Structure 1
Amino acid sequence: MMEMDMNWVGIGDITDIPLRGARCVKTPQGKIAVFRTADNEVFAIEDHCPHKGGPLSQGIVHGTAVTCPLHNWVISLETGKALGADQGEVRTIRVRNDNGALSIALESLMMAAE
């Protein structure tokens, strides 16, 4: 029987991500955008806008939100939800920051192996 636990996967150091920038991590569950705010907070969300699938990792980070580069939707990095009048959301991924060493939590989805 497979447990549904979290696997923490190292993704590099906080200094790998510029302030108010992002980097993209490929995972078995799809591309994850990892953001660093001006206040050195780190967030991870799915790298596609709920509107038309734009690459959020290429968007502009402001506060704890990112603006999609395609159609200017604003997505909360904390909740994954579209802000303002827009509706939709992306999945958020847990991030661990251990003195600058970053890890993301990936669900153990090994059901295909059963």
Structure 2
Amino acid sequence: MSWIDIGSIDQIPVRGARVVKTKLGCIAVFRTAEDEVFATSDRCPHKGGPLSEGIVHGTSVTCPLHNWVFDLNSGEAQGADEGKIDTYAIRVENGRLMLDAAVMERSAA
């Protein structure tokens, strides 16, 4: 797997997110209180809410529109909600965010 540097972890607030635009669409990159990072699609499957504007708690994010909660590890909706968001490989290397380069190269079909 090859990786692309998308910036410093310090550019994302603790328990916050930032958006990376790709050919696939917008990807939300989240930072937890423990400095773990996750990358997912930025759109909630329920009503298309911007997950990057949601509330990060533990390793979950709550959609800002209708309070659906998604596990950032698996992308699965939690609780009574049904749905899933795409997740993407990301890691931190020397304080830099490294996203799977294939995500940046794939086009939406």
TM-score for both structures, normalised by structure 1: 0.87
* Matched residue type, 1:50: P
1:109 matched to 2:103: no
Taking the TM superposition and a 5 Å limit, the aligned residue runs for 1:73-112 are 73-107=68-102, 108-109=105-106
Which whole-Å CA distance do the structure 1 matches of 2:19 and 2:32 have between them?
A: 15
Matched residue, 2:50:
55
CA 15–100 in structure 1, closer or farther in 2 if over 3 Å, else same: same
Q: Which moved further from structure 2: 97-106 or 16-25?
A: 97-106
Which whole-Å CA distance do the structure 1 matches of 2:62 and 2:81 have between them?
A: 12
Q: Can you give the 5+ residue segments of structure 1 that lack an aligned partner in the other structure?
A: 1-5
1:30 matched to 2:25: yes
* Matched residue type, 1:49: C
* Matched residue type, 1:46: S
Which whole-Å CA distance do the structure 1 matches of 2:101 and 2:76 have between them?
A: 20
Residue number among 27, 46, 49 corresponding to 2:41 in the alignment: 46
Which whole-Å CA distance do the structure 2 matches of 1:98 and 1:8 have between them?
A: 10
Q: Can you give the 5+ residue segments of structure 2 that lack an aligned partner in the other structure?
A: none
Percentage identity across aligned positions?
60
Which whole-Å CA distance do the structure 1 matches of 2:22 and 2:101 have between them?
A: 8
Matched residue, 1:17:
12
* Matched residue type, 2:106: L
Matched residue, 1:3:
none
* Matched residue type, 2:53: Q
TM-score for both structures, normalised by structure 2: 0.91
Which whole-Å CA distance do the structure 2 matches of 1:50 and 1:26 have between them?
A: 18
Please identify the structure whose Cα radius of gyration is greater.
1
